[in-house]
Structure formats: structure tokens, C-alpha cells
């Protein structure tokens, strides 16, 4: 891992410093290394780029994004936001609170951080900007709330981890409930202090109606939106559909509700909805493609194996091993797409932690939470990329607000790492 590794990361850093888009920087750095080093055929770029997207679980992403766009355009997501607003009222940082809670609920529909940011952020970021929130913060809190996607069931990352580790998908889904709530609470606390300090939300802007919507009216209007997570998770838990099939169910359900019940989608709207969903999905999948090729080069150069072996040789203390793995995965999440990271590193790290008595379900939560933080950390930061696009703000202007959010989530990560009962309580209770 000598010259090639330095060359790979050196080129990537230089390109990022010159404001080259992250996806292009990842692909370009990998391609330049392949051309200069010469030991890897150039055709591997095309093969890896296409094969990384030729994945059944990944099909769920564009379908969930489409479902989110339909819900947004058809009034479902708006009614969900109205319902939460009727509960939150005019608390400090109320729009941030609504963003976090709505993202938590929507994560139980989409199973994807990117889809959550694209759907909820598209509704709430414009209102945050009108209410005096800094564009960088509006993008940051939406992106951070979207990081709930990989740890709130039905998480696609959980499914990939379960396949790689031969563990129960149902147990992983159940184990994500309490950590997901802890992450949401941490975001709510940080949102309060930032909004209090910066004075965000001083302008009173109604989200939808000119008059405040009452609780019972908002609940009645939002009942179909609130039913969506129950329908999707119930179908998955009941073994009726796979998560990818559930994404299709979400699309069909949202179409039926928005066309025949809310009656806010017309035939002419479909072109715009499909174009918007295609644009968002394409942006995300380009990241997947570029990051997968970057990860493939890392794998060919045996960088993951070297790091994993080095980690195991330093110590056999479980507490220190978990701390080192956390640091390692946080760095990995900064440069590698979540799916690729799970596929590459889980088989390498599991043989290290299992002999130490660490439960694979608990370790799965550690891995997924670590990599979910990668969604909001540069240079990759897919969620930040989506949020900054919606807020029309440069990527780097989000860093000021992402730093304290990341710090709070890091505390949650350490708590979950060293208190395994938080993760294992519900699976053990229901399983026992």
C-alpha cells in the first residue's frame, strides 16, 4: 500500500481542493491511478461502474425517491409536515424539529438516507430559507436527519449487512429502533441550541396554510401518510414483500392516495415528477458508481486487508478494538459509498470482533451508524450534496453547521458502541 495509495488519495485531495465535483473527483482519481500504474485494465472502470448499480437492493432507491416525489407533489408529505407542525407549534427551531421528526417517519418508508433528504428536504428547506434559516444550516439539518435512513427500518444497509454476516434481517430491523430514536433526540438537542444561538426561525412563515392547522384536522388529513410506514414495514415484517418490492408498493400506494383521495396529481404532472426523480436518482447512482470503482481500487491494492490486519495486531482488548474500528469506519465513510463499504469491510472485520464476544447484531448497528455518519461528512457526503443542491448553497458552506451535529452524533455512536443493551434489548425481548 505505498506509492499507489499516496497517489490515489493525493489526486483525490487535489481535485477536491480545485472544487471538482466529488463524484467526478472519485472517478478521476481512480482512473488516473489506473492509467499511471498500469496493472489494472481500463475496462474495469466500465465493469465496476455498471455492476455496482446492477443490484436488486439498489433498485429500491429510485423507487423510494419516486414515491417521495409523488408524496411531495401529491400532498402526502405536506400533510405529514402539517401534522407534525400542529404538535410542535412555534418552539425554538420548530422547522428544524419538524424536519427531524418528518425524516424519522419518512425513513421508515424509504429505507434510504438520500431518498429521505430528497423528499423531506425538498418540502422544508424552502420554508426554512423563508423563515430566516441560513441556507447552510437548512441543508445541514436536512442532510443529518436523512442520515436516519440507514439505521431506521426498513434499512437497505441492514439487509446487506445481514446477508454478509448471516444474521437475522428482522433482528437487525428491530435493533435499529432505539438507536434511531437516540439519534433523533441528539439532532433535536443540537437543533435547539444552534437555532437559539443563531436566531433562526424568527420570521413566522406558515408551512402550507395561511392559518394554523388544528391537531385533529391535521391528523385526519395526514392519516394516509401516517399509514404508509405501517403498510410498508408490516409487509416486510410479515414476509409478504422484500424491501425492494415494498418500494414499488410505496409508489403504487402513493399514486392511489394522491390521485384518488387527495386529488392533487394530474396526468400532466407525471412528466415533471418522473424527470425530477430521475435527476435525483441519477445523481445518487453516479456517486454509487464512482465510489464503487474507488473502493475497487482500494481492494485491489489490498488496503482494506492491510488496515484490518494492522488493527488486529495492535490489541485484543474489545474496548480498544471497537474504538479503532469506529475511527476506521468513520474514515471509510468519508470516502466510500455505504453499500460498497459494507460489502468490502464487513467480511474483513467480523472475524476480528466475533472471537472477542461481540454480538454480530450489535456490531451491525455500529457499522451502519458509522457509515450513516459518512453521509454527512466530506468529501463524499451524499446527503450533504443533495441538501446543498436543494438549498442552492455551495457544499462547503454546510461545514460550519455539520461540525456540531457530527459531534453530537459521535457521542451517540460511542454510547451505542459501549452499551450493547441499547441495541440488543428489543431483539432479545421479542426473540426471548
DSSP string for 102-123: HHHHHHHHH--HHHHHHHHHHH
Q: Which three cell numbers stand for residue 126?
A: 424552502
CB atoms within 10 A of CB 165: 20
Query: In the prediction, which pLDDT does 391 show?
Result: 85
Non-local CB neighbours of 409 within 8 Å, separated by 6+ positions: 144, 147, 183, 186, 187, 373
pLDDT of the residue at 13: 77
Rounded Cα gap, residues 384 and 398, in angstroms: 8
Cell numbers placing 21: 465535483
Q: Is 19 helix (H, G, I), strand (E, B) or coil?
A: coil
Per-residue confidence (pLDDT) for residue 300, from 0 to 100: 77
Cis peptide preceding 38, ω within 30 of 0: no
How far from chain centre, in Å, is Cα 194? 22
The separation between CA 42 and the C-alpha centre of its own chain, rounded to angstroms, equals 31
pLDDT at 201: 64
Contacts of 313 by beta carbon, 8 Å cutoff, 6+ apart: none
Q: What share of the chain is helix, strand, coil (3-state, %, to 5)?
A: 80, 0, 20
Q: At 309, list the grid cell.
A: 490486519
What pLDDT, on the 0 to 100 scale, is given for residue 179? 93
pTM of the full structure: 0.75
pLDDT of 211: 46
**pLDDT 10s digits, 142-199:** 999 988 888 888 777 887 788 778 887 778 888 888 999 999 999 999 999 999 888 8
Among 30, 321, 327, 284, residue whose Cα is nearest residue 156: 284
C-alpha pair distances (Å), 256 with each of 105, 115, 217, 228, 259: 20, 20, 21, 12, 5
Concatenating the DSSP letter of every residue in 58-111 gives: HHHHHHHHHHHHHHHHHTHHHHHHHHHHHHHTT-TTHHHHHHHHHHHHHHHHH-
pLDDT of residue 206: 46
Given a cut of 50, the residues of the chain with pLDDT beneath it are: 203, 205-211, 432
> Of 71, 76, 124, which is closest to residue 100 (Cα–Cα)?
124
pLDDT at 208: 45
* Angle in degrees, CA 299, 300, 306, rounded to 5: 60
Which parts of 199-317 fold into alpha helices (H)? 215-237, 243-256, 269-300, 303-314
Amino acid at each position: 500500500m505505498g506509492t499507489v495509495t499516496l497517489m490515489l488519495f493525493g489526486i483525490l485531495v487535489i481535485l477536491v481542493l480545485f472544487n471538482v465535483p466529488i463524484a467526478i473527483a472519485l472517478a478521476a482519481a481512480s482512473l488516473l491511478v489506473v492509467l499511471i500504474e498500469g496493472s489494472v485494465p481500463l475496462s474495469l472502470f466500465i465493469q465496476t461502474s455498471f455492476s455496482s448499480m446492477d443490484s436488486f437492493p439498489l433498485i429500491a432507491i429510485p423507487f423510494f425517491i419516486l414515491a417521495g416525489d409523488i408524496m411531495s407533489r401529491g400532498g402526502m408529505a405536506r400533510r405529514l409536515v402539517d401534522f407534525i407542525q400542529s404538535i410542535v407549534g412555534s418552539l425554538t427551531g420548530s422547522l428544524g424539529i419538524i424536519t427531524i421528526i418528518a425524516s424519522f417517519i419518512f425513513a421508515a418508508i424509504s429505507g434510504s438516507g438520500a431518498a429521505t433528504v430528497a423528499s423531506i428536504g425538498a418540502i422544508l428547506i424552502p420554508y426554512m430559507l423563508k423563515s430566516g434559516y441560513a441556507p447552510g444550516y437548512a441543508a445541514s439539518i436536512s442532510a443529518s436527519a436523512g442520515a436516519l435512513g440507514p439505521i431506521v427500518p426498513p434499512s437497505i444497509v441492514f439487509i446487506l449487512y445481514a446477508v454478509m454476516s448471516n444474521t437475522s434481517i428482522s433482528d437487525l430491523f428491530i435493533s435499529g429502533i432505539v438507536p434511531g430514536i437516540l439519534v433523533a433526540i441528539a439532532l433535536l438537542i443540537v437543533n435547539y441550541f444552534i437555532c437559539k444561538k443563531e436566531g433562526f426561525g424568527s420570521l413566522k412563515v406558515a408551512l402550507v396554510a395561511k392559518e394554523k392547522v388544528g391537531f385533529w384536522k391535521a391528523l385526519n388529513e395526514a392519516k394516509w401518510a401516517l399509514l404508509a410506514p405501517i403498510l410498508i414495514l408490516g409487509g416486510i415484517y410479515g414476509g409478504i414483500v422484500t424491501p425492494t418490492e415494498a418500494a414499488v408498493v410505496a409508489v403504487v400506494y402513493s399514486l392511489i392516495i394522491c390521485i384518488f383521495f387527495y386529488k392533487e396529481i394530474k396526468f400532466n404532472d407525471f412528466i415533471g415528477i418522473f424527470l425530477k426523480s430521475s435527476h435525483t436518482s441519477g445523481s445518487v447512482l453516479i456517486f454509487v458508481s464512482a465510489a464503487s470503482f474507488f473502493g475497487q481500487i482500494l481492494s485491489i491494492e489490498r488496503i482494506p486487508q492491510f488496515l484490518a490486519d494492522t488493527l488486529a495486531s495492535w490489541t485484543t482488548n474489545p474496548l480498544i478494538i471497537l474504538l479503532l474500528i469506529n475511527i476506521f469506519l468513520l474514515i471509510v465513510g468519508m470516502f466510500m459509498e455505504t453499500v460498497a463499504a459494507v460489502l468490502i469491510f464487513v467480511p474483513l472485520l467480523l472475524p476480528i470482533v466475533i472471537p472477542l464476544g461481540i454480538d454480530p447484531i450489535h456490531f451491525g448497528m455500529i457499522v451502519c451508524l458509522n457509515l450513516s455518519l459518512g453521509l454527512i461528512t466530506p468529501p463524499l457526503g451524499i446527503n450533504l450534496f443533495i441538501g446543498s443542491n436543494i438549498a442552492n448553497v455551495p457544499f462547503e458552506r454546510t461545514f460550519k453547521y455539520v461540525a456540531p451535529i457530527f459531534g453530537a452524533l459521535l457521542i451517540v455512536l460511542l454510547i451505542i458502541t459501549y452499551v450493547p443493551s441499547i441495541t440488543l434489548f428489543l431483539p432479545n425481548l421479542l426473540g426471548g
